[in-house]
């Protein structure tokens, strides 16, 4: 007999339906257990042949997403940008970058997505603008003490001549978080110098983002992903506080501070902003969903996902967990409990545009310095691509069986590995230069998608691609996998089709008596998931085998394999 523990139950607000969730267009809860596909626009599909992906390219390829069976797509920024940080340096948040298309192209994309039954989520970047934003240009012209400077964080420097930055705060991308301007003042940029931080104590800043949310919601978008949601509120009272050591500028140091007291991350006041936004989002029918990108631990992260705030927050703890049964079980249980405690649904992410693709990452021995691995061109340690793919497929099938929403990143349905050996001369991520060429950055997961087995950019567009694709991409292309039994693309398609049928309420029951290294849980109505993270084949429990991430070995579940079972 297996002993079962229910680790998630009904929530106080936005109650999930008892039976299969309704993913139809009017259901206000459609997002609670949706599968959302992240499109990184520059790297998805290039219609106009300039080597950079664009909106018309995305629209043409929407049938791929419909056939894949996802519920929604999330578009990373497509706004005018000088691409100092891959589009997260926004010049105008209510326009389309002319290289990527026009607002008409955007409307056509939304229309076509909705026709195909796909929802559309856009990225909002409220922590900073591009330095080319009209507000920042005005701030530079207007001088110290001006209202235009108050929309950003300008301060005088320290030292006899103001030649030292106002504090020791460090940028996420490396180096000081302060940049000096010609009249001698300094401005704050938690990311690249081309991304000045906004001052959220300024009412004009608040008003402008309300306008931006309404602008896109009025155009029919179904939801918003909120970039760096945990950094908007800052302690800017004079005198500004030094942190004392560079490490304390990182989110990973949040535990060193009493909750809510770090000078710029996860401050309690940030939640007022999202309560205000929720009122705007709820004025639409159905209400627009939102998901926080907040690199904040457990219970604090869940606060962003409260029903009167954003509703969901990315769960990066799951992404950061090594491929280890005990560790995963702990993180899954805690994630469900923390989401449940605030009435949110859980989220799961294995890959995105900021991290090493999980096909490669899950094979790195725990504790591996990923940057050193990238600098070695992916050779130290070497990752066997077949073994990596096997593990990634098992991890995906496990993720897709969990209660809540799964966010999948473009190309993972093809099993793409990280392109770890990009030559340094092609790197575009500001991290490379800003760290004095010490950290290689995130380009290896942003290499344009292969659609066909041949062609100048494997079907990405009619000409080349802005980052070079390795020849191995031909074999990973959609064309190479389409209709091929056992391919990763067909695995995702089958899994997503089955998931829709099998989806239950947001509860999960663990089986306690499993062999070491094996995770097993039921989702109700006979849907059972078993993942073998041990090095040995294991016997399967009772149930009809519906899907496996790798063929069974003499009827047994091999290492690095996940199975879904039914009644």
Residues assigned a catalytic role: 227, 293
Interface characters, 363-382, with ligand GLC (x: CB under 6 A): --------------------
Residue 305: φ, ψ to 5°? -95, 10
Q: Taking CB under 6 A as the rule, does residue 334 contact ligand GLC?
A: no
Q: Is 125 in the site for ligand GLC (CB under 6 A)?
A: yes
Taking the alpha carbons of 201, 168, 184, 192 in that order, is the dihedral positive or negative?
negative
Give the Cα separation of 448 and 469 in Å (integer): 7
Tokens standing for 477? 């292309």
H or E element that contains 446: none
User: Residue 85 Cβ, how far from ligand GLC at the closest point, in Å?
Assistant: 5
Q: Which is closer to ligand GLC, CB of 191 or CB of 527?
A: 191
User: Is residue 208 involved in binding ligand GLC (CB under 6 A)?
Assistant: no
Does 40 sit near ligand GLC (CB under 6 A)? Answer: no
C-beta closer to ligand GLC: residue 88 or 135: 88
Selected from 186, 191, 473, 564, the binder of ligand GLC by CB under 6 A is: 191
User: Which of 429, 516, 484, 467 is CA-nearest to residue 84?
Assistant: 429
CB of 23 to ligand GLC, least distance (A): 26
Beta bridge partners of 143: none
Q: Which is nearer to ligand GLC, 266 or 293 (CB)?
A: 293
- The span from the CA of 169 to the CA of 188, in Å, is 9
The answer to whether residues 38 and 352 touch, using CB atoms and an 8 Å cutoff, is yes
Q: Are 78 and 101 in contact (CB under 8 A)?
A: yes
Closest CA to 254 of 246, 245, 265: 265
Nearest to ligand GLC of 125, 502 (CB atom): 125
Residue among 293 and 560 whose Cβ is closer to ligand GLC: 293
Q: Which two tokens stand for residue 238?
A: 């004079």
Among 46, 54, 71, 85, binds ligand GLC (CB under 6 A): 85
Cβ of residue 541: shortest distance to ligand GLC, in angstroms? 39
Burial label for 386, CB within 10 Å (0-12, 13-18, 19+), is exposed
Q: Does 78 bind ligand GLC (CB under 6 A)?
A: no
Nearest residue to ligand GLC, by Cβ distance, number only: 88
Q: How far is the CB of 442 from ligand GLC (least distance, A)?
A: 7
Instruction: Indicate the residue among 191 and 564 with the shorter CB distance to ligand GLC.
Output: 191
* Distance in angstroms (rounded) separating the CA atoms of residues 172 and 169: 10
Residue 178 binds ligand GLC, judged by CB under 6 A: no
In the bound complex, what is the minimum distance in angstroms from residue 145's beta carbon to ligand GLC? 28
Report the side by side order of strands in the sheet with 72-75: 311-313, 289-292, 223-226, 119-124, 72-75, 35-39, 405-409, 347-349
Single residue of 92, 354, 433, 479 touching ligand GLC by CB under 6 A: 354
Q: CA-to-CA distance for 35 and 336, rounded, in angstroms?
A: 17
Query: What token pair was written down for 254?
Result: 């949040």
Instruction: With beta carbons less than 8 A apart as the criterion, state whether 451 and 479 touch.
Output: yes
Phi-psi region of 49 (alpha: psi -120 to 50; beta: other; left: phi over 0): left
Q: Smallest gap, in angstroms, from Cβ of residue 148 to ligand GLC?
A: 22
| Least gap, CB of 191 to ligand GLC (angstroms) | 4
**Cα separation, 267 vs 265, whole angstroms:** 6
Selected binder of ligand GLC within 37, 79, 88, 277 (CB under 6 A)? 88
Query: Interface residues for ligand GLC in 400-429 (CB under 6 A)?
Result: none
**DSSP state letters, 324-339:** -HHHHHHHHHHHHHHH
Question: Are the C-beta atoms of 344 and 11 separated by less than 8 Å?
Answer: yes
Locate 363 and state its tokens.
Answer: 């094979």
- Beta carbon nearer to ligand GLC, 73 or 383: 73
Compute the least distance from the CB of residue 198 to ligand GLC, in Å: 12
CB of 436 to ligand GLC, least distance (A): 18
227 lies in the site for ligand GLC, by CB under 6 A:
yes
**Would you say 352 or 481 has its CB closer to ligand GLC?**
352
Residues 459-498 that bind ligand GLC (CB under 6 A): none
- CA distance linking residue 513 with residue 436, whole number of Å: 51
230 CB-contact burial (10 Å; exposed 0-12 / middle 13-18 / buried 19+):
buried
Residue closer to ligand GLC by CB (options 309, 429) is: 429
The answer to whether residue 44 forms part of the interface with ligand GLC (CB under 6 A) is no
Size of the site for ligand GLC (CB under 6 A): 9
Q: Does 168 bind ligand GLC (CB under 6 A)?
A: no
Q: Which of 68, 118, 205, 228 binds ligand GLC (CB under 6 A)?
A: 228
What DSSP element (H or E) covers 64?
helix 62-68
Report DSSP state, residue 449: P
Neighbours of 393 (CB within 10 A): 24
d(CA 537, CA 86) in angstroms, rounded, equals: 43
Q: How far is the CB of 387 from ligand GLC (least distance, A)?
A: 29
Which of 59, 434 has the CB closer to ligand GLC?
434
User: Which positions touch ligand GLC (CB under 6 A)?
Assistant: 85, 88, 125, 191, 227-228, 293, 353-354
């Amino acid at each position: 007999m297996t002993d079962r523990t229910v680790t998630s139950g009904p929530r106080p607000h936005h109650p999930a339906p008892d039976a299969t969730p309704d993913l139809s267009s009017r259901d206000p809860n459609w997002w609670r257990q949706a599968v959302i596909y992240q499109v990184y626009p520059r790297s998805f599909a290039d219609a106009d042949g300039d080597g950079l992906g664009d909106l018309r390219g995305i629209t043409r390829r929407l049938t791929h997403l419909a056939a894949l069976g996802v519920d929604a797509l999330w578009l990373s920024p497509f706004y005018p940008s000088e691409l100092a940080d891959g589009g997260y340096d926004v010049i105008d948040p209510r326009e389309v970058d002319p290289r990527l298309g026009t607002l008409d192209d955007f409307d056509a994309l939304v229309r076509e997505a909705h026709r195909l039954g796909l929802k559309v989520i856009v990225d909002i970047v409220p922590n900073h603008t591009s330095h080319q934003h009209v507000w920042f240009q005005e701030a530079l012209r207007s001088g110290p003490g001006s209202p235009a400077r108050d929309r950003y964080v300008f301060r005088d420097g320290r030292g006899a001549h103001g030649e030292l930055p106002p504090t020791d705060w460090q940028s996420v991308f490396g180096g000081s978080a302060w940049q000096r301007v010609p009249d001698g003042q300094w401005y704050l940029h938690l990311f690249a110098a081309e991304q000045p931080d906004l001052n959220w104590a300024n009412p004009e800043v608040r008003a402008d983002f309300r306008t931006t949310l309404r602008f896109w919601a009025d155009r029919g978008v179904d939801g918003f992903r909120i970039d760096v949601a945990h950094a908007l509120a800052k302690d800017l009272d004079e005198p500004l506080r030094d942190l004392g050591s560079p490490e304390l500028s990182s989110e990973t140091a949040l535990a060193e501070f009493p909750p809510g007291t770090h000078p710029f991350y996860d401050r309690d006041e940030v939640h007022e902003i999202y309560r205000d936004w929720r009122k705007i989002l709820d004025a639409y029918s159905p209400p627009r969903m939102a998901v926080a990108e907040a690199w904040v631990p457990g219970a604090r992260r869940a606060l962003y996902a409260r029903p009167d705030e954003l509703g969901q927050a990315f769960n990066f703890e799951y992404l950061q967990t090594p491929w280890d049964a005990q560790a995963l079980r702990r993180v899954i249980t805690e994630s469900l409990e923390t989401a449940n405690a605030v009435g949110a649904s859980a989220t799961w992410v294995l890959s995105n545009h900021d991290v090493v693709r999980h096909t490669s990452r899950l094979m790195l021995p725990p504790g591996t310095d990923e940057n050193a691995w990238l600098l070695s061109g992916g050779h130290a340690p070497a990752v066997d691509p077949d073994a990596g793919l096997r593990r990634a497929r098992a991890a995906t099938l496990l993720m897709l069986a969990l209660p809540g929403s799964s966010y999948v990143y473009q190309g993972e349905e093809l099993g793409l590995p990280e392109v770890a050996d990009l030559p340094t001369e092609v790197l575009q991520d500001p991290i490379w230069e800003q760290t004095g060429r010490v950290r290689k950055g995130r380009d290896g997961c942003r290499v344009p998608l292969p659609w066909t087995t041949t062609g100048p950019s494997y079907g990405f567009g009619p000409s080349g691609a802005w980052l070079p694709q390795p020849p191995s991409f031909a074999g990973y292309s959609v064309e190479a996998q389409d209709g091929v039994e056992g391919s990763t693309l067909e695995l995702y398609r089958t899994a997503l089709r089955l998931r829709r049928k099998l989806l239950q309420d947001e509860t999960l029951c663990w089986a306690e008596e499993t062999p070491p290294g094996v995770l097993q849980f039921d989702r109700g109505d006979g849907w059972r998931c078993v993942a073998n993270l041990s090095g040995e084949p294991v016997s399967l429990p009772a149930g009809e085998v519906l899907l496996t991430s790798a063929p069974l070995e003499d009827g047994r579940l091999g290492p690095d394999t996940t199975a879904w079972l039914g009644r």
